[in-house]
Structure 1
Amino acid sequence: MNALENTVETDQSITDQEKIENVTRRITEHGNYLRKRYPILQYQSALGAGVMVFSLVGMVVTGGLYLKGFIPAWTCILINALLTSFIHEIEHDLIHRLYFRKQPLAHNAMMFMCWLARPGMPSPWLRRSLHFHHHKESGTDSDVEAWITTSGNPWGVLRLLKLMDGFIFGFLNAIFAPGWRQKARLLGKIIRLNTPFGLLYWGCWYVFLGYHLYGWLGSIIGAEVHSSAATLALMDVVNSVVVILIAPNLIRQFCLFFISSNMHYYGDVAPRNALQQTQVMNPWWLWPFQLFCFNFGSTHSIHHFVVRDPFYLRQMTAPYAHKVMAEAGVRFNDFGTYKRANRFSMNHVQTRSRG
């Protein structure tokens, strides 16, 4: 019986591998066709740099218009959230060395600018090793990147809090870890991953929350809240940074993590099987989230088959790629993933949290 089971598993593995190779080949060929049809796509590094400059300049201009009083805070926040979603895609492509591969100065300069525009995230150089491992072991217990986005956690208030505030998520994991050595190790990792920009980013956010919460509570109980001139001057800076940079990134990160953690599977995934690692999630009602993560749920699965194509080309290949992936058995809009805590098996029922 064991020999028969091993034979069946081997045959299934070969069959899946053939499907994966077929999907990869056909999407790659379609990408080559688009590059020939639209010659501008051959200038990949220039296009990536152009999107990067457009996004950074857009953030600066929008921030200036807000500071001068020409646009309200909510307009600035939404526009910059959209622009930082472009920058996230650029950073992801840079991690795969899709721009300026042979020009390290330009490549690393773009990496650094991506980090400045998204300071609440670890440096892209640190993320590179985690992301490469994610591609190799996607959906398995060693897939740290998926775990960071909350994939595999049962849905509830705790997971929503983790999606909204990754720093507190990591801090609480460290505090409640068993043993002092484990606590110290996790706290040290959190500090290392957030040094230096993340500590400034989250520190500014918590000062903003604390100050305005203090004022709000004072107004509720009828107590007068007095602030010194220095405090008011500091809060003017903090408020501006929150509107221009922090709040847009919080919106972008929540939307990205919400989409990413549900279109990736975590658990019951065969090792290095791209057919099981992800699904395509593209219903109309997800568009408010897709808007701020550049249609991630619809196109990221393509990336698990063909890594070499930049984010804008994945958008162009999506209609064809979806057809090819569906033929191979990739799932589409499997909303049962919410009940199964993102496990691939349809029979799994969530029973516990992974913390």
Structure 2
Amino acid sequence: MRLATRLPAERALARADADRIAEIRGAIMRIGDDWRARHPWLTAHQDQIGFAIFLGAIAGVLADGYLYAIGVLPWWVVVPVTAFWLSLLHELEHDLIHSMYFRNNRFLHNLTMGGVWFFRPSTINPWLRRRLHLHHHDVSGTDSDLEERGLTNGERLGAHRWVTLADSMLGIYLKPFRMRRIVADYIRHEARSRAEAQQLARANMLAYFPLGAFHYGLWHLFVIVNVVELVAGPLSLPGLGVLDFLAVTILAPNMIRTFSLHFVSSNLHYFGDVEAHNVMQQTQVWTAWWLKPFHALCFNFGETHAIHHFLVRDTFYIREAIKRQCHPVLRANSVRFNDFGTFRRANRYALVPATVEP
């Protein structure tokens, strides 16, 4: 199937930006096509590859838990290694949202979607996230981009932003009216009728139910118990051993994986002064050496996500394979690399200080 290098929504852009976008998109297509030509099995067995990664990552999570339970692995090994397996499941979910696996087998598609959510309960319902994510691609960097604004994109860097990057639920509790405004902006843009607006409002209220509510409830309980024990000494309560086991094998790995991904994503995307549909202004590329610990737990998101914004076609492992060929093309066409000034500009694209919400 031949893909266009120029999309209808980009016709209103300045000629220079439209030309750069077309050149980048065309180059990524050619690089990806060349990779597929040299490795045709990647396309021929895309569903099987995705399912193998799915089963392998889950096997890794279960093996880590078993080895921890029998005393072979300490907690400080289990937590980051399990977080790595979970990062693979996140990438699978993202590709599933774009229907890159099991497009013609809804049973296996939904089974895999459910599986990646079950092992990553710190995230929202992936079927709901599909609509949010596709909306993100359409409006990235603007007020109704609920997916990224929910990760604090556009907010001034401060205590609330740092807390929310790791604990989305606590971030909502601390600033409920901010989240309400963001959801309202999304619904105002997305809903085509009053009934649909009400349906979207209900769906977003239940985004973390039931798995997210269960996960964050256990995590907050674990934190409270440990703070109490730190102050008052050991507690003797039924179920604490189970809580500790879950914290090491699922809860903590999900928290550090979530923080790593959200730290990169929320600072990688631009917001607030982004021209609608201008991919040149939507995101940047992060390749700095000090990001490696974060990238290890979000599968090099900062190095490959811009590729995905320009061309929504390739699976996460193909984007990883072709990134070194794509980066020179992005750089030559003025896509920014390592623009860490976004920390003080609250994600604004313009290279000047901005007045933003607290």
- Output the TM-score relative to the length of structure 2: 0.88
Partner of residue 200 from structure 1, selected from 194, 214, 221: 214
TM-fit CA distance, 1:133:
0.6
Tell me: CA distance 1:177–1:303, structure 2 relative to 1, closer, same or farther (3 Å).
closer
Task: State how far apart, in whole Å, the 2-side matches of 1:57 and 1:353 are.
Answer: 43
Q: Which residue of 2 aligns with 1:351?
A: 355
2:118 corresponds to 1:113 = no
Aligned residue runs from structure 1 range 4-19, under 5 A:
13-19=14-20
8 Å CA contact retained: 2:155, 2:346 = yes
Partner of residue 147 from structure 2, selected from 145, 149, 152: 145
Aligned residues: 332
Q: Which residue of 1 aligns with 2:30?
A: 29
Task: State how far apart, in whole Å, the 2-side matches of 1:314 and 1:280 are.
Answer: 13
Query: What letter corresponds to residue 304 of structure 2 in structure 1?
Result: T
Partner of residue 272 from structure 1, selected from 270, 274, 277: 277
Aligned residue runs from structure 1 range 165-314, under 5 A:
165-174=167-176, 191-219=205-233, 227=236, 231-232=237-238, 234-314=239-319
Query: What letter corresponds to residue 333 of structure 2 in structure 1?
Result: A
Q: Which residue of 1 aligns with 2:60?
A: 58
Partner of residue 125 from structure 1, selected from 124, 127, 130: 127
Query: What letter corresponds to residue 24 of structure 1 in structure 2?
Result: R
Task: State how far apart, in whole Å, the 1-side matches of 2:41 and 2:180 are.
Answer: 55
Tell me: CA distance 1:187–1:104, structure 2 relative to 1, closer, same or farther (3 Å).
closer
Query: What letter corresponds to residue 241 of structure 2 in structure 1?
Result: D
Query: What letter corresponds to residue 355 of structure 2 in structure 1?
Result: T
Q: Which residue of 2 aligns with 1:7?
A: none
Task: State how far apart, in whole Å, the 2-side matches of 1:113 and 1:17 are.
Answer: 40
Task: State how far apart, in whole Å, the 2-side matches of 1:176 and 1:339 are.
Answer: 20
Partner of residue 72 from structure 1, selected from 57, 71, 74: 74
Query: What letter corresponds to residue 284 of structure 1 in structure 2?
Result: W
TM-fit CA distance, 1:272:
0.6
Task: State how far apart, in whole Å, the 2-side matches of 1:177 and 1:282 are.
Answer: 31
Partner of residue 320 from structure 2, selected from 315, 320, 329: 315
Could you say what secondary structure the match of 1:335 adopts?
coil
Task: State how far apart, in whole Å, the 1-side matches of 2:108 and 2:225 are.
Answer: 40
Q: Which residue of 2 aligns with 1:6?
A: none
Query: What letter corresponds to residue 18 of structure 1 in structure 2?
Result: D
Residue segments in structure 2 that go unaligned for 5+ positions in a row: 1-10, 185-197
Task: State how far apart, in whole Å, the 2-side matches of 1:192 and 1:263 are.
Answer: 27
Task: State how far apart, in whole Å, the 2-side matches of 1:114 and 1:178 are.
Answer: 27
2:331 corresponds to 1:326 = yes
8 Å CA contact retained: 1:152, 1:266 = yes
8 Å CA contact retained: 2:268, 2:285 = yes
TM-fit CA distance, 1:300:
0.5
Task: State how far apart, in whole Å, the 2-side matches of 1:86 and 1:248 are.
Answer: 13
8 Å CA contact retained: 1:122, 1:193 = yes
TM-fit CA distance, 1:164:
1.9
The Cα RMSD (Å) is: 2.3
Task: State how far apart, in whole Å, the 2-side matches of 1:195 and 1:243 are.
Answer: 22
8 Å CA contact retained: 1:154, 1:350 = no
8 Å CA contact retained: 1:264, 1:277 = yes
Tell me: CA distance 1:283–1:117, structure 2 relative to 1, closer, same or farther (3 Å).
same
Please tell me whether Structure 1 or Structure 2 has the larger radius of gyration of its CA atoms. Answer: 1
What are the superposed Cα offsets for residues 100-149 of structure 1, whole Å, 9 maximum, x if unpaired?
11111111110000100111111110000100010010001111111111
Query: What letter corresponds to residue 346 of structure 2 in structure 1?
Result: A
TM-fit CA distance, 1:351:
3.4
Task: State how far apart, in whole Å, the 2-side matches of 1:277 and 1:178 are.
Answer: 24
Query: What letter corresponds to residue 214 of structure 1 in structure 2?
Result: V
8 Å CA contact retained: 1:174, 1:187 = no
Query: What letter corresponds to residue 204 of structure 1 in structure 2?
Result: L
Residue segments in structure 1 that go unaligned for 5+ positions in a row: 1-9, 220-224
- Output the TM-score relative to the length of structure 1: 0.88
What are the superposed Cα offsets for residues 167-202 of structure 1, whole Å, 9 maximum, x if unpaired?
0111222268899xx9xx999766511111111101
Could you say what secondary structure the match of 1:127 adopts?
helix
Q: Which runs of 4+ in 1 moved over 4 A?
A: 175-179, 185-191
Tell me: CA distance 1:236–1:316, structure 2 relative to 1, closer, same or farther (3 Å).
same
2:347 corresponds to 1:342 = yes
Query: What letter corresponds to residue 152 of structure 1 in structure 2?
Result: G
Query: What letter corresponds to residue 75 of structure 2 in structure 1?
Result: A
Task: State how far apart, in whole Å, the 2-side matches of 1:188 and 1:33 are.
Answer: 45
